[in-house]
Amino acid sequence: MELAVEQCKAEGIVIAGFPTGTGSRPWQNNVAEKLYRKGIPVVLTNRAGIGRIAPEAEQPFEEYFLVGDNLVPDKARILLMLALSKTKDLKEIQRMFVEY
């Protein structure tokens, strides 16, 4: 993830999380925190194609992940690209993921 930002100039990252919506791997948490502190959104999605990862979920998501709600990674990537064309504000981007 860090290389995508540093070498490829990625403005955001989408992670395909576990199908149960339980989140990411521990090493991803550390990198996501670094990117979040730089203002780079890291969106956590569900790779199963069904189910939700919502801000109100019972799982304790770390503050540095945006949640992709019911979007599969491909759709989350498109929404993230559109959101980044309008704003870099992480709270506003999260609002867009909840709304759309």
pTM of the shown model: 0.79
Confidence of residue 16 (pLDDT cuts 50, 70, 90): confident
The arrangement of secondary structure in 2-99, i.e. its CATH architecture, is 3-Layer(aba) Sandwich (3.40)
What does the domain layout of the chain look like in residue ranges? 2-99
CA 32-11-50 angle, to 5 degrees, is: 65
Please say if the pLDDT value at position 60 is more than 50.
no
Q: What is the mean pLDDT of residues 35-52?
A: 82
Model confidence at 42: pLDDT above 60: yes
Give every CB contact of residue 78 below 8 A, 6+ residues apart in sequence: none
Query: Where residue 29 falls among pLDDT bands split at 50, 70, 90?
Result: confident
SS3 67: strand
